Amino acid sequence: MVTVNALSEIAALMGDPARAAMLSLLMDGRAHTASELALAAGVTPQTASGHLSRMVEAGLLAARAQGRNRFYRLASGDVAHAMESLMALAGTRASPASRTAAWRRDPDLRFCRTCYDHLAGQIGLAVTDSLTQHGHLEPKGRRDWKLTPSGELFCTRLGVDIEGAKAAHTRHFARQCLDWSERRPHISGALGAAIADTFFKKGWAERLRRGRTVRLTDSGRRALSSHFGASL
């Protein structure tokens, strides 16, 4: 059982503006250096180092050394899930300043983005809606999805590595992740990551060099129509 003190500690770590800015940047699923995270948070490298050490110790971040640099990334999909849920909650009671924040008003970010390692935004919801409407995906309780036999067949034919996703025992297979811009759950977990990986490998979607925004290619638009029956 989670203690009140443990909950308070994690909430305090995520609630600090500088640390929240760092966590938001890391939602792109990439690993970033301490210097990049310091710049995103608007703090000095020394201050950033203290913030990062605390988040690593608390299990929010994972760190690895490479050459002279130390790279940081979110420790797990559960951290990303918590961040996306907090963004959705913040949007329901946004102040005038937060309502006009760049991450909220950016139409490209709302259209398609990465949420850690899976697709979110309108495209993430279009894929989720298609799978549920065709009986390939069903709610499993309040927090997970169940991939039906027809869903396994559909995803396998599409090129999604279902067996690899099932073998990822250290994470949830198919999680319901509340989308902050669409206010409905999209697919996260190992299945969500495998679907996103298929989009990138087939050239249906492209990551931009910086940020979470994902560009849907022309072939991706055709794939959404032909494979998922989704119109944009």
Query: What's the pLDDT score for residue 130?
Result: 97
Residues 46-57 pLDDT 10s: 999 999 999 999
Residues 173-202 pLDDT 10s: 999 998 888 889 999 999 999 999 999 999
**Is pLDDT of 123 > 90?**
yes
CA end-to-end span of the chain, whole Å?
Answer: 44
Total domains present in the chain: 2
Residues 82-96 pLDDT 10s: 888 887 777 655 555
Among 42, 75, 108, identify where a domain stops. Answer: 75
Going by the DSSP 8-state scheme, the letter that residue 101 receives in this structure is -
**Are 217 and 105 in the same domain?**
yes
Residues 198-224 pLDDT 10s: 999 999 999 987 778 999 999 999 999
**Are 41 and 131 in the same domain?**
no
**Are 51 and 105 in the same domain?**
no
What is the maximum alpha-carbon separation in the chain? 53
Q: Which string of b and e fits 168-187 if b means at least 16 CB within 10 Å?
A: beeebbbbbbbbbbbeebbb
**Are 21 and 83 in the same domain?**
no
Query: What's the pLDDT score for residue 87?
Result: 79
- Is the whole model's pTM more than 0.85, yes or no? no
Domain that holds residue 42: 4-75
Among 59, 75, 91, identify where a domain stops. Answer: 75
**Are 45 and 125 in the same domain?**
no
Query: What's the pLDDT score for residue 97?
Result: 47
Among 75, 101, 127, identify where a domain stops. Answer: 75
Closest C-alpha to 104, from 126, 127, 124, 121: 121
**Are 100 and 170 in the same domain?**
yes
Q: How far is CA 219 from CA 83, 113, 193, 203, 214, in A?
A: 31, 17, 20, 7, 14
